Amino acid sequence: MRTLSLKQPFAELIASGRKKIELRKWSTKFRGEFLIHASKIPDKEAMKRFDFRGLPYGFIVGKATLIDVKDYRKNKKEFKKDKNLHLADESWGNFGFVLENAERIKPNSCKRKFGLLGI
Residue 101 belongs to domain with CATH number? 2.30.130.30
Residues of the chain with pLDDT under 70: 111-119
Where residue 6 falls (left for φ over 0; alpha for ψ -120 to 50; beta otherwise) is beta
pLDDT score at 111: 59
pLDDT score at 67: 98
pLDDT score at 14: 98
Q: For residue 48, is it within any domain?
A: yes
Q: For residue 118, is it within any domain?
A: no
Q: For residue 119, is it within any domain?
A: no
pLDDT score at 116: 56
Residue range of the domain that includes 31: 3-109
List, in order, residues 6 or more apart from 110 with CB less than 8 Å away: 37, 58, 59, 60
pLDDT score at 69: 97
pTM of the model: 0.89
Instruction: Please tell me the chain's helix, strand, coil percentages from 3-state DSSP, rounded to the nearest 5.
Output: 25, 35, 40
| Total number of domains in the chain | 1
pLDDT score at 56: 93
